[in-house]
Structure 1
């Protein structure tokens, strides 16, 4: 059986005026475990997330190098099933990878998880002084807390966690 590690839970972190925010420690641990399984002997210094605008939801979507590799393999396999000639296949793979990865820059984070969310991404998700990180199995969603509340009213457990985190921050 393949061993998998997933992102779970919700975490609220402050965002400063320059867009600096900390990736929650439980998510960093998952990334490290996944990297060790997927890239044995790999470079521990390559700490980054690919973060893009998840316009359909109104938040940001982030994923690590392990999920990037899965996505690319999935794209390749999907295109290969079409039975295209090699040039058409190459073009199709290029189009799909550009759409998937092109608008999602690599955002590095340090050993303490500190990273800078690029201004265009913060603007797209409406993230100002707080970021609500939500584990979504293989990916992480990064929300403006108010947007999360408006768009995810059916997620009572996460809303309770968010309310608790906001209450603790207000103390």
Structure 2
């Protein structure tokens, strides 16, 4: 199953005290082209200190990827346990959040904490999914390439919130 529409681009949006933030229109467009749900799924990113986000239809693709990984690792004695652990992380530790006609969601407190999201959210398209970062956290992460840090700095300067 290949994805026809991919998440691309970046944006920096304000998050209010109640956790309300607008999903950028270019990301909502992909969600809506992939399916009819006006919903985004949020999860703690498995490698970075941010949130992974995607449309509900992507969950089936994610499950298929985990199944293929299990098939590759079947000979390992720990394969079944690792498969179960991956499934728990991939599906139990998520929250499905609807967005309104203007694209606003209320970021659940647990997800906000998991992603260390403060008063700004940096949205980054990553193809199949997109990420939501605290821009200051991204700038401090040594694993993030300088070109991406430049995008974060540009978005902060654009908002007048440069550090």
Question: 1:32 matched to which residue of 2?
Answer: 32
TM-score computed with the length of structure 1 as normaliser:
0.77
CA contact under 8 A between 1:13 and 1:130: conserved in structure 2?
A: yes
Structure 1: gaps of 5 or more residues: 36-43, 84-88
Distance 1:75 1:159, change over 3 A: closer
In the alignment of these two chains, the number of paired residues is 155
Which of 83, 99, 112 is 1:122 aligned to? 112
CA distance, structure 2, for counterparts of residue 10 and residue 107 of structure 1: 20
| RMSD (CA atoms) | 2.6
User: Which position in structure 1 is the counterpart of 2:56?
Assistant: 65
Distance 1:164 1:11 in 2: 10
CA distance 1:144–1:3, shift in 2 (3 Å)? closer
Name the CA distance, whole Å, in 2 between partners of 1:53 and 1:93: 18
Secondary structure, counterpart of 1:100 in structure 2: helix
Q: CA deviation at 1:20?
A: 0.3
| TM-score when normalising by structure 2 | 0.81
Segments of structure 2 that go 5 or more residues without pairing to the other structure are: none
CA contact (8 A) 2:41 2:54 kept: yes
Query: For 1:127-158, what per-residue CA distance to the aligned partner results, in whole angstroms no more than 9, with x for missing partners?
Result: 11000011111111110000111116753333
Once structures 1 and 2 are overlaid, which stretch shifts more, 73-82 or 105-114? Answer: 73-82
Task: Decide which of 80, 90, 94 is 1:104's aligned counterpart.
Answer: 94
What displacement does 1:164 show?
2.3
- Structure of greater Rg: 1
How many angstroms does 1:105 deviate by? 1.0
Does the CA contact (< 8 Å) of 2:9 and 2:124 recur in 1? Answer: yes
Evaluate the alpha carbon distance shift between residue 80 and residue 118 of structure 1 in structure 2; reply closer, same or farther with a 3 A threshold.
same
Whether the 8 Å CA contact 2:12–2:120 is kept in 1: the answer is: yes
CA distance 1:18–1:70, shift in 2 (3 Å): same
